[in-house]
Amino acid sequence: MKLSLSYSPQYEYLKSSFESIREIFAGDDHSIHKARNELKVITLDGIKTVVKSFKIPHILNRVVYTFFRKSKAYKSYHNALLLKELNISTPEPIALIEFYESGLLGESFFISEFFDYDFTIRTPLLEPLIDRNQIFKAFAAYTHGLHQKGVWHLDYSPGNILIKRTESGYHFSIVDINRMEFRSISPLEGCENFNKLWANDEELAIMGQEYARLSGFNVAATIAEMQRHNNANKRTKNFKKRLKRVLKGDFSTPV
């Protein structure tokens, strides 16, 4: 059994917890998300953290992640460090922990500080908040700021955009950051990054007007491009859902 461990010097006092994270994680029942990967809120020596346990890859990907590509935990940790350098909010990265068995990657963990947010962008998309329009404008401005710094979040979906109300407005923070690109982003290309919100045309128009104002791009073209990408994403997702029903033999709804 080989352990690979990365953390900043300020967390040296947590090293024993990092080394025992598999046992700590298994014995804790404060799960906040469980699907392909699992997240738990765990207090480590007085620090409230979120520990993300990544699913053990199948044998082929274990080889790939060992010799050819960085693991998802590795990318989560190092992307967080880079975002911090760019002054972009993401929960404070604490540690990257990877376990290797028989020379291949097995379990892996990413630990970050708990971010005390009020809601995600999903809330104003689904609920009639009084300030929902202001939130959408602030979100568009925040997204424009990400793009200006060359940050492209490949899973920019509602649950990954955390929001906290502050005296000066809204504080946004992004999570699930293992899939990111850092490159130049044009205003036209930036419109595509709104496609996973499942927003309606009216909501996209609010975001599009603000994004266009800040980028200097044509308002009508910005809104149209956002709607085009949004509709394409909806068609793809709905097609996959229908296909899954067909493969399961469920013909209760039209396909």
Q: How many CA atoms lie within 13 A of 215 on its CB side?
A: 29
pLDDT above 90 for 45? yes
Domain ranges of the chain: 2-113, 119-243
| pLDDT, mean of residues 35-62 | 95
Give residue 255's pLDDT: 46
Give residue 135's pLDDT: 98
Answer positive or negative: Cα dihedral of 116, 118, 119, 120: negative
Q: Encode pLDDT of 101-142 as tens digits.
A: 999 999 999 999 999 999 999 999 999 999 999 999 999 999
CA–CA separation, 103 vs 98, rounded Å?
Answer: 12
Q: Encode pLDDT of 151-190 as tens digits.
A: 999 999 999 999 999 999 999 999 999 999 999 999 999 9
Chain position carrying tokens 């979906």: 157
| 2-113 CATH, one of 3.40.1350, 3.30.200, 3.10.450, 3.40.50 | 3.30.200
Whether the Cβ atoms of residue 29 and residue 41 lie closer than 8 Å to each other: no
CA–CA separation, 132 vs 117, rounded Å?
Answer: 16
Give residue 1's pLDDT: 79
Instruction: Say which CATH topology domain 119-243 has.
Output: Transferase(Phosphotransferase); domain 1 (1.10.510)
Q: Does pTM top 0.75 for this prediction?
A: yes
Q: How much is the CA Rg of the chain, to the nearest whole Å?
A: 20
